[in-house]
Amino acid sequence: MSTTAPYTTIIGLEVHVQLMTRTKLFCGCSTKFGGAPNTQVCPTCLGLPGSLPVMNRRAFDLALRAALALECTIAPFTKWDRKNYFYPDLPKGYQISQFDLPFSSDGFLEVVDPKGAFEPCRVGIVRVHLEEDAGKSMHDEAAGTGDTRIDLNRAGTPLCEIVTQPDLRSPQDARAWLNELKLLLVYLGVSDCNMQEGSLRVDANVNLHIPQPDGRIAKTPIVEIKNMNSFRSVERALTYEAARQWEDWQATKAEMGKTPKQTRGWDDPAGITRAQRHKEESSDYRYFPEPDLVPVTVSQQQIASIRGEMGEPPVSLRKTLAAKWNIPAYDADVLVNQGRELVDYFEDLATRVGEGKVASNWMQQDVLRILNETNGTVSDFTVRPEGLADLIGRIKKGDFDTSRAREIFAEMVTSGRPVDNVVAGMGIAAVSDDDVISLCRELLAANPKIVADVKSGKEQAAAGLIGQAKKKNANVNPGKVRAVCIDLIRGME
Amino acid sequence: MSTSPQTLTSKDVAKVGLLARLALSEADLERMTGELSKIVGFVSMLGELDTADVAPLAHPLDTQNVFRDDVPVASLSTAEALQSAPRHDGSCFLVPAVLGDSGAA
C-alpha cells in the first residue's frame, strides 16, 4: 500500500469453491451446471421428511486436498453441524456445515511477484471446511407476479469454505492473492473456479487501522462485502470501501465494536457498495451437531495418499520449470500462470527443441500473444508442439531467419498446415548453401568499400550487405549471408 | 455451569421468535416466556451432574466414516419434485417475494 495513506487497509477473505464432483455432497443428484430448474433434485436435497444424507467420499477427499495444498493442519477427528436459518433457497431450514471441529485449520498461501512489483504476500488460512450450497432464488420484477421462484438444483452441492486471516493490506494484493488461490485449486483439480457459473465466490471483510496522534490505533467498523462477481470487482469494491470508510471515519469517528458488523453489497455497474441487512450473530444460527451424519476420522496414511495423488502446486512448479529448463523465474511464472495445459505444451516443445529458453521465448512472444489476441485456449491451438518444434529446428538449421519464421508461423496458425506445406505455399524456398555463396560473391564484387572496411577489422560494415542480399533473394537468411561474406573476405587475405 | 433455574425474559423469547420467523402476539409472548422458561429450567438440571471427566460426545452412535461413492443416480422428475409444493409454476417452487440479498452460506 501507499506509504502516504493516513491509514492501513485490513482485508480478510472468505472464499467458497465448488468441488469438482459429479454428484452432490449428501445425495447422488448431478452437480452439472446449467440444467433446467429442479431437474437435479431428490428427497435428500429437497429436505423431505425421512431422507438422510450420506457423505460423498470424493468431495471429502477433494476438500482434504485443498486444505493440504493450503498447508493446513488436518484434524484427526471432524464432525458436521447444523447452521439454522430460514430462507426459501434452504429447504431443510438449516445448512449442514462445520462449526467447532472443522477438518482443517491454520494454513497459509503465499503469492510472490517475480518482477518484484509487490512484496511477497503471505496470507494465513484460519480454516478450510466442507459444507453444502443452498439453491437459487430468482425474482422476476418485470413479470410483476410478486413471487420468487426457487430452483434447488444447486442445493446440496459440495463447497469448500476457505477463511483467511486479515493479512491482506491492499485491494491489489487481494486480487493477486485470489489469482494465486484460483490457480492452485485449478491445478490440483479441486475446483474449476468458474466465477460465471458460481463455482467460486468471494466475500471480503475490510476495515481501516488509523494511527492517532496519541499513538493509539483507531479501527473502523468491519464491513463484509458481498456480490462481487469477478476478481476485478473484488479489487474495485475494496478500493471503494476503504475510501468510503475513510470518509465515514472523518465524519463520524465511529469505531469497531460500537456498531454491529455491517454487510454491504457491491453494485458493479454503479461502482459502489450498499448497506444490506444486519448479519445474524454466530449464536443466532444455533449451531448444533448434525445427528444424521457420523463423524469422520482421518489417518496419516490417508493424508499421505491424498498428498501422493495431488500433483505439483504452482509455487513449486515455477521453481521446477526454471531449474529443469534453465529459464528465468519470470518466464516460469508466466508459463505456470497460464495453467497446466500450457505448461504441458511448453515442456513438450522444450523437449523437442532441446533448449528451454528458445521454447519459452516462442511460447511468450508468439503462442501466448496469439492466444491472447484470439481469446483461444492452448488445447484448441492449431499448431501443436511438434509443428512448432519443426519450425524452430529449421531456423536453427539456417533455413530461414526468425522474422521470416514468424510469418510462416502466423500462416501455420491460420491454416493449420505444417511448415513445409506453408513454406511451399508462400513461395518461400530454403536457399541452398551454393546459392548463398554465389550471391555473396556477387555482393562482394559490387561493394569494394565494404570489403575493405571488413578487411581493416570493421566487421559491422558487413551489415550493409544484408539489405542488398534480401533485395536479391527474399528467402535468404541474413545471419548466414553475413557469416559467408566475412568468411569469403577473410579468404581473400 | 450454574445449577440455578434459568429464567427467560420476554425479550429473549421475542428474539427466538424472530429467528424462527414466528409472529408472536403480546399474549403469545407472555405464555411462551413462561413455558420456555420451564423447559430451560428442566434442562438446566443437567448442570447438577459432574461432567469434568466425561469427554464431549460428537455423535451418539459409535460409528465413523460412512461414505458413498461419487456416482450419479437418477433424480426425481420436476413434476415429482414439485408435487407437494403449495405453489409452483411447473418448473420452480413459488414463494412470496424475497427481495434483497440471499441468506446463503
Whether residue B33 is contained in a domain is answered as yes
Instruction: Tell the CATH topology of A433-492.
Output: Arc Repressor Mutant, subunit A (1.10.10)
Whether the CB of B100 is below 8 Å from some CB of chain A: the reply is yes
Q: Round the CA-based radius of gyration of chain A to a whole number and report it.
A: 31
CA–CA gap between residue A167 and residue A290 (Å, rounded) = 32
Residue A74 is given by DSSP the state E
Residue appearing with cell numbers 488461490: A181
- The ranges of chain A annotated as CATH 1.10.10 are 433-492
Per-residue pLDDT, A279: 59
Which chain B residues contact residue A38 at CB under 8 A? 78, 81-82, 91-93
Angle value at C-alpha A431, between A430 and A432, nearest 5 degrees: 115
CA–CA gap between residue A57 and residue A61 (Å, rounded) = 6
Hey, are the CB atoms on A28 and B73 less than 8 Å from each other?
A: yes
Helix segments in A290-339, DSSP class H: 300-308, 314-325, 329-337
Under a CB-based contact definition with an 8 Å cutoff, are residues A159 and A200 in contact?
no
Q: Which of B69, B88, B98 to mutate: most A Cβ within 10 Å?
A: B98
Angle value at C-alpha A485, between A481 and A486, nearest 5 degrees: 120
- Closest chain B C-alpha to A213 CA, distance in angstroms: 40
Hey, are the CB atoms on B104 and A89 less than 8 Å from each other?
A: yes
Per-residue pLDDT, B101: 47
A350-374 confidence digits (pLDDT tens): 999 999 999 999 999 999 999 999 8
Q: Which residue of A has its CA nearest to B72?
A: A28
Which chain A residues contact residue B92 at CB under 8 A? 37-38, 138, 149-151
CA distances from A175 to A7, A115, A233 (A): 20, 17, 9
The contacts of residue B96 (CB under 8 Å, 6+ apart) are A146, A147, A148
Whether residue B26 is contained in a domain is answered as yes
Res. B33 pLDDT band, cuts 50 70 90: very high
- Closest chain B C-alpha to A99 CA, distance in angstroms: 12
Under a CB-based contact definition with an 8 Å cutoff, are residues A47 and A93 in contact?
yes
Read off the CATH number of the domain in which B34 is found: 1.10.20.60
What single string gives the DSSP state of each residue in A414-445? HH---HHHHHHHTT--PPPHHHHHHHHHHHHH
Whether residue B80 is contained in a domain is answered as no
Res. B37 pLDDT band, cuts 50 70 90: very high
ipTM of the prediction: 0.87
Per-residue pLDDT, A339: 93
The domain of B33 spans 1-50
Per-residue pLDDT, A2: 47
A293-317 confidence digits (pLDDT tens): 999 999 999 999 999 999 899 999 9
Q: Residue A470 in 3-state DSSP?
A: helix
Q: For chain A, which ranges sit under pLDDT 50?
A: 1-2
Hey, are the CB atoms on B103 and A87 less than 8 Å from each other?
A: yes
Out of A146, A150, A293, closest to residue B92 by CB: A150
| C-alpha B87: how far from chain center | 24
Whether residue B28 is contained in a domain is answered as yes
pLDDT at B103 over 50: no
Helix segments in A159-275, DSSP class H: 171-187, 231-252
- Which residues 44-73 on chain B approach chain A with CB closer than 8 angstroms? 58-61, 63-73
Which chain A residues contact residue B81 at CB under 8 A? 38, 41, 46, 152
Total structural domains within chain B: 1
Per-residue pLDDT, A141: 66
Q: Residue B70 in 3-state DSSP?
A: coil
Per-residue pLDDT, A143: 60
Q: Which residue of A has its CA nearest to B91?
A: A37
Q: Which of B21, B82, B92, B99 to mutate: most A Cβ within 10 Å?
A: B92
The residues pairing with A130 across neighbouring beta strands, listed in sequence order, are A160
- Closest chain B C-alpha to A250 CA, distance in angstroms: 29
A400-433 confidence digits (pLDDT tens): 888 889 989 998 998 888 888 888 777 766 677 7
